[in-house]
Copies of this chain bind each other. A is one copy, B any other.
Amino acid sequence: ATNLLAAHALDDLVSSPWGWQCEFGRCVKKEIAHQEGLSTLNTCKLTCGSSGALWPIPSQVKIEDQLSLFLPNNIDFQFNCPNEVVNLMNEAGDIFKDNILRYHPEYSDGHVPWTGPWDASTESHILYVNGLVTGDAVSLNLNTDESYQLNVTTSDDFTTATIVAASFFGARHALETLSQLIEYHETSDALMVVAAQIEDSPVFPYRGILLDTSRNFVSVATLERTLDAMGASKLNTLHWHITDTHSFPLVLESLPNMAAYGAYSSRQVYTFKQVVDLKEYARVRGVRLLPELDAPAHVGNGWQWGHEAGLGDLAVCVNQEPWQEYCVEPPCGQLNLANPSMYHVLGQLYVELVKLFSPLDMFHFGGDEVNMHCWNASKEISDWMIENDFGVDEEAYFKQWAVFQQRARELFLEATGEEEIQGVLFTSGLTAAENLENYVNSSQYIIQIWTAKDDPVIKDVLTRGYKVIFSNYDAWYLDCGMGAWVGEGNNWCSPYKGWQTVYDNSPYDIAYSLTGSQHTDLILGGEATLWTEQADDATIDSKLWPRSAALAERLWSNPASGWYAAETPFVNHRQRLVKRGIQAERLQPEWCHQNEGLCYL
């Protein structure tokens, strides 16, 4: 977005008559000729309002009225931390530096044309970043202490940013916050940092995004951008819905046929090395990967090789027509319950997944949208049901689904070497009140609520003591609102969920309205979901962002106020994401960004 020629062409003709002033917490655009002491827009954004440009809002924050100018090569890191986290802190420091370089309007691919000239105090000003990390945790789980303290004090000669955190994960959040206390100063061609005192910790331990890489393939570059933006918004879990009926993009050395049959092409795959690198890429940004292998439904393409390999049909109804009879969307497919070889393959898949994604404290088993007719229409399965005296009514199939789930969990634990992990299951017939306690053990599974916020299942699971993650589709499904992809009109969960809806969706409030209790002990958090029937590299950024950042503030800060109070810093955070290379959706005219509070209804 550099436009140097244009900038100079206008500056040569006439300089801007505008400046900004903070009035009652709002940046107001005024004419320089009529008002003294106006600041640049960035300066005003950084300092105006109770939390300046910070997103999500910290638990406690005080922005001071002191700004210093400095240059990006005058940053001095001093980290005092356990050996285990030294490398992580150094990498987080590099990310911090890269992020603030991107504030320069002419930043392009790592190249920043800082030109100056600067006055002596700007040129010699040092930003000291002193980090004290007391814990040695190198992986993130539901008990990780992500809190931090950040104090930024500034004087004529130097600025000191002091970070104290119990874990690397808290410390990297502090660095992110520090980067949001910094902006580019237009008229000085330098960075500026504002003094502040901050104590901060998240309300919810699980703050995630679900990204589906099966309906459409998602490149590693897009996954990395997603992780960049998650780090910028203090989200901590990328729930990777790796596979589905549509495709199987994961290359597994011991099961190469899964991707050979299941990938859209040999270019649309993830290698072992890519996944392991991505796990590390995530970690240094404070994010853990939560892999999902959805089963026993939402499988199909990738599983067709069993017959030729002498293992029989591993899945049934694969790509079967008419699809409406066998599944919720084309193409169909479910695992073949009657084929013991299916379990051998599943077990081996888990071995591979554990290898890729360890250390794992959670694993997502999927478990949604099983179609009983698909199973019953398979002669192999219905014969097997009858032979074993299971029967072939719906209840019988639910029972076998539960048996499958139990076996799947056992296989997964075998793969981990019996290390305990928490399973996650989507709400489904299996989690309905009549089945829940029979088939789903609350010490083994977390329930992910994907139905609407008024669905009685939420009460069913909470009052029975199940831990939950919210992704209710009426607020947190980011794929809604496009045109239909089967038939015409708009897609099933239309309308589009605006950021206001995303922001105002409060798990505690939902729980309270249904049960009379906020169930703070059971609600682990939530996630924005991007199912990719209608998204790929071209638009994943703009569907996820900035709306996932609205979710991020809901889950980090759980603000008492609604979207209206958050609008100005939220729009500013969107601008920051764009500076960092994220193609986030534009929410409003730039005029609203420059005239805070005036785009109201």
Contact = CB atoms under 8 A, between A and B. Distances in A.
Contacts of A590: 215-217, 246-247, 264, 268, 536
Contacts of A586: 216, 532, 534-536, 538-539
A17 B595 CA distance: 58
A535 B533 CA distance: 22
Given A17-B260, A263-B10, A498 B483 contact: yes
A33 interface: yes
A1 interface: yes
A489 B501 CA distance: 8
A538 B538 contact: no
Nearest to A265: B16
Contacts of A253: 13
A19 to B, nearest CB: 12
A273 interface: yes
Nearest to A574: B538
A386 interface: no
Q: How large is the interface on A (under 10, 10 to 19, 20 to 34, 35 or more residues)?
A: 35 or more
A266 interface: yes
A14 B260 contact: yes
A478 to B, nearest CB: 11
A271 interface: yes
B220 A3 contact: yes
A600 interface: yes
Contacts of A3: 219-220, 267-269
A9 B249 CA distance: 12
B323 A598 contact: yes
Nearest to A105: B267
A364 B542 CA distance: 32
Interface in A42-83: none
A485 B269 contact: no
Given A264-B590, A592-B330, A598-B321, A251 B13 contact: yes
Contact of A9 (B15, B247, B269): B269
A326 interface: no
Contact of A594 (B11, B257, B264, B273): B264
A155 B216 CA distance: 38
B330 A599 contact: yes
Interface in A196-226: 215-217, 219-221
A330 B598 contact: yes
A248 to B, nearest CB: 11
Interface string A573-601: 00000100001111111111011001111
A392 interface: no
A538 B583 contact: yes
A256 B15 CA distance: 10
Nearest to A245: B591
A77 to B, nearest CB: 32
A525 interface: no
A5 interface: yes
A588 B533 CA distance: 5
Contact of A10 (B5, B221, B246, B251): B251
B587 A534 contact: yes
A271 B588 contact: no
A304 B274 CA distance: 55
A141 interface: no
A96 interface: no
A585 B246 contact: no
Nearest to A582: B538
A539 B272 CA distance: 32
B10 A256 contact: yes
**Smallest CB-CB A-B distances: 7 pairs:** A483-B498, A487-B601, A13-B256, A538-B583, A488-B500, A14-B260, A486-B601
6 contacts: A1-B267, A330-B592, A481-B482, A482-B498, A483-B500, A532-B589
Given A10-B266, A246-B589, A533-B588, 8 more contacts: A3-B219, A14-B260, A323-B598, A483-B497, A489-B500, A494-B496, A536-B586, A536-B590
